[in-house]
Amino acid sequence: MAVCARGTINFSEKANKSGEAGARVAVLIYNNVPGALSMDLSEYWYEPPCVSLTQSDGQWMRDQGRRSTPETIEVDNWGEIVTRGNPLHR
């Protein structure tokens, strides 16, 4: 599962980069400001569902993953993989 913050690239590209990086269960994209988020995923081509979350729910999911997941992949605002692994498990 990938948990990504909204950024400067479009939602389809962010979701596709997450799929390329290994997201197999779901792609969760959370807003980078308070409030709801709507996404255009017309160019998303991977199978895992992609859903939007509020900023607070997304940050909570991200924090839970950092506590319990043995591997974490973070994708930056430009769609580049910036980290692999979980710093808490190093």
Residues 6+ apart with CB under 8 A from 48: 1, 19, 23, 24, 25, 26, 27
Q: Which residue has the tokens 């990086």?
A: 21
Q: Check whether 86 has a pLDDT greater than 60.
A: no
Cα 86 to the center of its chain, rounded Å: 15
Cα 15 to the center of its chain, rounded Å: 7
pLDDT tens string 37-61: 889 999 999 999 999 999 999 888 8
More confident residue, 70 or 55: 55
Phi, psi of 63 (to 5 degrees): -65, -35
Report the run of H or E that residue 82 belongs to, with start and end: strand 81-84
Q: With bands split at pLDDT 50, 70 and 90, how would you rate the model's confidence at 82?
A: low
